[in-house]
């Protein structure tokens, strides 16, 4: 079993704050997509401005969280806290690597925009990450 070196309170607060911001970004994505497509699910296609704007907002927030979490991980000694947060950062990075080609599809007029199914499948990668980060910060990373 790995020993855990607790994160200082300020770092726990910063990591928790970014996790909350990402959770809020996922919720905004869900609400924006529902608004974009309407009750019938046919109100917007993937290349429409509404869906694209919601997607960019989510990708931006995941990138911000990934950056801040990586900064904390670099300064953190190995242990169970580092391992728990590192695993979540790997998932964020996986999302980002999956999101980049979808984002490029919008920019390339020769390609079809990504489908809502592809977007939602990619969002599902990070949907539960903020909760797991908050759990790790309050348990594994706490003194």
Q: Give the closest residue to 95 by CA, choosing from 127, 70, 68.
A: 127
**3 state DSSP class of 45:** coil
Q: Looking up tokens 């499948």, which residue turns up?
A: 121
**In the chain, what are the domains?**
9-138 (1.20.120)
Residue pLDDT, tens place only, 50-103:
778 888 899 999 999 999 999 999 998 899 999 999 999 999 999 988 887 777
Q: What is the pLDDT of residues 18-48, one digit of tens each?
A: 999 999 999 999 998 888 877 665 655 554 6
For residue 138, pLDDT beyond 90: yes
Interior/surface letters 84-108, b for 16+ CB within 10 angstroms, e for the rest: bbeebbebbeebbebbeebeebbee
Q: What is the pTM of this model?
A: 0.85
């Amino acid at each position: 079993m790995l020993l855990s070196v607790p994160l200082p309170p300020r770092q726990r607060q910063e990591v928790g704050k970014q996790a909350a911001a990402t959770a809020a970004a996922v919720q905004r994505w869900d609400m924006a997509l529902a608004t974009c497509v309407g009750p019938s699910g046919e109100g917007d296609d993937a290349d429409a401005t509404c869906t694209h704007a919601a997607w960019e907002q989510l990708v931006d927030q995941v990138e911000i969280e990934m950056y801040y979490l990586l900064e904390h991980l670099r300064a953190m000694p190995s242990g169970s806290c580092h391992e728990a947060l590192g695993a979540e950062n790997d998932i964020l990075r996986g999302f980002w690597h999956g999101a980049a080609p979808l984002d490029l599809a919008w920019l390339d007029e020769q390609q079809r925009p990504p489908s809502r199914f592809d977007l939602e499948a990619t969002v599902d990668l990070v949907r539960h990450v903020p909760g797991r980060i908050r759990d790790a910060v309050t348990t594994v990373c706490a003194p």
